[in-house]
Amino acid sequence: MKKDKKNKKNKNEKLKKAIIDAIRDASNHQDKVVGLKEVATCDDVVTECTEEERNRVKELILSMVEYGCNVEIYDHSITISTDDITSIKNQQTFKTLNPYNENNIVRINIDRNTWGIQRSYNNSFRVMYKDEKMYDEVKEQIQDLHKKIQEQKFRMIYDGIIQDSGLIRDKNLDELLK
């Protein structure tokens, strides 16, 4: 009987030690992962922008807007983003929900004094540039492109609704009877 108690106590001690070691290992692993992410995303050093970089990113911005990437325009900043850069040319008019893939996120932020581009690919990489001209140079172009895209989407939605609902027949009859 004493031997059974001793074995049970021994097993409990081993189990306790194994649990504590597992928790310690998991905690150490988590610290390492958090440390990597912090290092990978702390790329907010602002450098001067060259004319070539400005022209290349302007072309990229306008292409992303034209292909229907997310556009957010505020008084002092603009954000262009997509959750999957690999599929922007393959998108249908109305985006279907694709599985989230954090390796393909691209985000471009432009404000009055700086712009930055970020690509998530295994880790997140970001570069920031000082550029007081970019915001004013692209804002109107982005707004114009965005407006054209919205108008096209509206026409497609409207045409689809009146065709699918049968209202187009009523509209055509009314026009014929005028």
Confidence of residue 27 (pLDDT cuts 50, 70, 90): low
| Confidence band of 44 (pLDDT split at 50, 70, 90) | low
**Judgement on whether residues 120 and 62 belong to the same structural domain of the protein:** yes
Identify which of 83, 93, 72 has the alpha carbon closest to the alpha carbon of residue 143. Answer: 72
- Regarding whether 17 and 52 lie in a shared domain, the answer is no
Residue 165 within a domain = no
What is the predicted pLDDT for the residue at 121?
66
pLDDT > 70 in the chain, percent: 71
Q: How many domains does the chain have?
A: 2
- Domain span at residue 99 reads 44-139
Which residues make Cβ contacts (< 8 Å) with residue 97, sequence separation at least 6? none
Residues 122 and 49 in one domain: yes
In degrees, rounded to 5, the angle at the alpha carbon of residue 118 between the alpha carbons of residues 42 and 47 is 65
44: left (phi over 0), alpha (psi -120 to 50) or beta: alpha
d(CA 50, CA 37): 29
110-136 tens-digit pLDDT? 998 888 888 876 667 788 888 888 898
Q: Report which residue type is found at 145.
A: L
Does residue 99 have a pLDDT over 90?
Answer: no
pLDDT band at 47 (very low <50, low <70, confident <90, very high): confident
Indicate whether 89 and 18 sit together in one domain: no
Q: Are residues 28 and 106 in the same domain?
A: no
Q: Is residue 121 part of a domain?
A: yes
In angstroms, how far is CA 42 from the centroid of its own chain?
Answer: 18
C-alpha torsion angle, residues 135, 59, 72, 37 (rounded to 10): -100
Domain match, 91 and 128 both: yes
Instruction: Verify that 54 and 9 share a domain, yes or no.
Output: no
Q: Are residues 109 and 134 in the same domain?
A: yes
Domain-located, residue 111: yes
Statement to judge: residues 48 and 32 lie in one domain: no
Predicted pLDDT of residue 78:
92
Is residue 11 domain-shared with residue 81, that is, in the same domain?
no
User: What HEC string does 55-78 produce?
Assistant: HHHHHHHHHHHHCCCEEEECCCEE
